[in-house]
Amino acid sequence: MKLLADQNVHRRVVLRLRDAGYDVEFILETMPGRLDEQILARPDIGELVFITGDKGFGRWIFDLGLPRPLSILYSRLPQPDWADTADRLLRILEEGVAPGQMITITKDGERTKPFPLGASNG
């Protein structure tokens, strides 16, 4: 499973995921400054688990029908708390991320919302 970390993900979270053995592409390193629509237009987006702190991606997929990644891990945890964010992401990834869903991570837990029926997978 390949992960794509949005540019708003803390660099230490990315490093922690990589240290755990995950293949993580960090947009800040490979596509800095790209717009959300440009990220979703990648030809390989449907093969990637996307990690972001930007709620706008839900709107692009759920409301506007833009191509979607394999799944989205959307963190609503505070940026300075990168260690907790990394721990939570690692636990979710170890448990397995089913395709076709957005997992929202909050201080109180996680909630899952399936992508709309007929949503384009990349």
Residue 17: pLDDT band (50, 70, 90) is very high
Residue 120 in domain: no
Residue 121 belongs to some domain of the structure:
no
Can you point out the beta strands (E) in the chain? 2-5, 23-26, 48-52, 71-75, 101-106, 109-114
Q: Please give the helix or strand (H or E) that residue 39 lies within, else none.
A: helix 36-40
**Is residue 55 assigned to a domain?**
yes
Number of domain units in the chain: 1
Tell me if 81 is assigned to some domain.
yes
User: What pLDDT band is residue 121 in, cutting at 50, 70 and 90?
Assistant: low
Q: Would residue 8 count as lying in a domain?
A: yes
Amino acid at 88: R
Q: Which domain holds residue 48?
A: 2-114
pLDDT at 120: 53
The answer as to whether 119 is a domain residue is no
pTM of the model as a whole:
0.90
Q: What is the CATH number of the domain that holds 69?
A: 3.40.50
Phi, psi of 18 (to 5 degrees): -65, -40
Q: How far apart are CA 85 and CA 105, in angstroms?
A: 9
**85, part of any domain:** yes
What pLDDT, in 10s, does the model give residues 59-116?
777 777 667 899 999 999 887 789 999 999 999 999 999 999 999 999 999 999 888 7
